[in-house]
Structure 1
């Protein structure tokens, strides 16, 4: 069985030297690694091979990394860490809005990247946990799934961490800064818009499960809270 100690990782990177270096570090940490140097065949490869995590460069020959991320997210919740030299905030927000679980800017240390990989894998490949239940939702942390009745959705690791934080303390208001600390354990600096973007996408997904109930509420000027529906709703 795949564990956080041994995962199947796909590197999508057109800089051959960098890809080899990262692959060496990952293999030294016990992971199986495959490498693709251009974007055209990535989605088909992922569909066929089902890796545990993807390191996805943004600027690729054949097909752009954002397009690849969008296509993968349409059918899979496999963790995706984007790597790129484009550091503008709009690129960061767009990558996360499309469902990337993390975002690493070049130049980066291979050790830092391996640490990010470990952090994402801990969230997504942790030993199976029993489902948590509060109100209409049941959360399955080991599978990043949320269920309500007969309906079910998959979330990205970031979306699940956000929901799990709010869900674990119904009625409590979490500031954006507090949510950032819970989601980004490396304490990186991101804008309030990043959290708002995640919440917007999470709400859209939850609406598929419970279309008649708003579970995540905005508190103007403060943050967000998870609120259980009133009895009889």
Structure 2
């Protein structure tokens, strides 16, 4: 329960009692609970899509509202991470300079472009999920599954970029075997939606997060909390696009 409480407090705006003693075991449990922790946010996104479809509202407008609800429910932390990582990767080839830019908190041109592209892809895909209750459930499931990106960026073989901060707290906490098993489980669930597109969507999402993680380790020397957020947003975009209209 402590791990779940930490996961909910870290990934959502839902008020829960603070966890003051984050041991390695609690941190690992919080990461593994990530999809469950954001289930209420996934339900909100699915409900918005379903309600918009029933009310015959413009699908793209409904999708943007749903994306806004998701950003509000996660305190927009993942979007901030996406923007910071894009700025850090394009700011300089100097590791220290890139990390300094990421820590600054302001969005530069690359960060703004990344937000437009990723959020645009999410919204355009989400606009197709209001046709039925089943589609709405799949949309919510994509939100939850995207948090499995943390199992990759926090895998035991991925080092932290800094000795302090969120990255250091959760880095190297997930055994590689657990990461592989977790994503295989996500693939199996996606296959229930569509055997071909479901497996492809999960595979591409995992590959995209792996590529982002590899690039950040090469450039920054490891991962940070910003990389965690960026990985989640990228995974969500790929899953929503890949499963749009599936089944």
Q: If the TM-score is normalised by the length of the shorter chain, which range does it land in?
A: 0.3 to 0.5
TM-score of the pair, normalised by structure 2: 0.31
TM-score of the pair, normalised by structure 1: 0.32
Which of the two has greater strand per residue?
1
Task: Between the two structures, name the one with larger relative contact order (CA 8 Å, sep ≥ 6).
Answer: 2
